[in-house]
A and B are shown apart, each in its own frame.
Chain A
Amino acid sequence: AQSVAQPEDQVNVAEGNPLTVKCTYSVSGNPYLFWYVQYPNRGLQFLLKYITGDNLVKGSYGFEAEFNKSQTSFHLKKPSALVSDSALYFCAVRDNGNYGQNFVFGPGTRLSVLP
């Protein structure tokens, strides 16, 4: 069965600094990897995904993520953080080799961008 780990409960970064939110995964087949963001009292918003192809994926709001197969990681990055980026971030994986269609989400990482 697939699994996702987000090793940091909380990430604090100063506005204007680069940010990284970490994600590692485990699947038996090829992974489909996703990042979602959740603002207070709102549903999850899609940021970006990796299915195949270029390991560096660019998404919404200036975010990007790098797929690293050898390290089974898919860390979320942004070159310059904004206060408005403060939210809860979830990494999710689906096993492409598995006929089950469900995602497994990580526990989430709370990002705080300090002005």
Chain B
Amino acid sequence: GAGVSQTPSNKVTEKGKYVELRCDPISGHTALYWYRQSLGQGPEFLIYFQGTGAADDSGLPNDRFFAVRPEGSVSTLKIQRTERGDSAVYLCASSFGEKETQYFGPGTRLLVL
């Protein structure tokens, strides 16, 4: 079956701009996670949704970052006033339940110039 998909695969933007990154989870998966992976490092947790609500947003670095999942399926990670330090690969994962294995998408590579 279809895996987790993320769009766009690459995004180049200028410092100060607003960006949206999209994640389509595996159908039927109720839990959705966002991570950020910088070069040479492991993924860093950002936020976790159970259904439509953010169950844990403790990993969001500051209030420029926000994520939504209005219908409990697709999620959008939104970054306002982007900074060069936001450049990274943003990974999305989904799982069937909150204790199940997470399956990852291919990521969106964000470059802030």
Task: Indicate whether A102 sits within 8 Å of B33 (C-beta atoms), given known contacts A90-B42, A90-B43, A108-B42.
Answer: yes
Across the interface, do B41 and A103 meet the contact criterion of CB distance under 8 Å?
Answer: no
Complex: A4 Cα to B104 Cα, angstroms: 19
Given known A42-B106, A43-B106, A43-B107, contact A102–B101 (CB-CB < 8 A): no
- Contacts between chains A and B (CB distance < 8 A), count: 58
Closest to B9 in A: A41
Residues A1-55 near B (CB distance < 8 A): 4, 32, 34, 36, 41-46, 49, 51
**What 1/0 flags go to B52-80 for Cβ under 8 Å of A?**
00011011000000000000000000000
Show 23 A/B contacts (Cβ-Cβ < 8 Å), sorted by A.
A4-B42, A34-B102, A36-B104, A43-B104, A43-B107, A44-B93, A44-B104, A90-B43, A92-B42, A100-B58, A101-B31, A101-B48, A101-B50, A101-B55, A102-B45, A102-B59, A103-B33, A103-B43, A105-B44, A106-B42, A107-B42, A108-B41, A108-B42
Q: A34-B102, A49-B101 provided; 20 other pairs, C-beta below 8 A?
A: A32-B99, A43-B105, A44-B43, A44-B93, A45-B104, A46-B102, A46-B104, A51-B99, A90-B42, A100-B56, A101-B33, A101-B48, A101-B98, A102-B33, A102-B48, A103-B33, A103-B43, A105-B35, A105-B44, A107-B42
Q: Give chain B's interface residues, CB within 8 Å of chain A.
A: 4, 31, 33, 35, 40-45, 48, 50, 55-56, 58-59, 91, 93, 98-99, 101-107
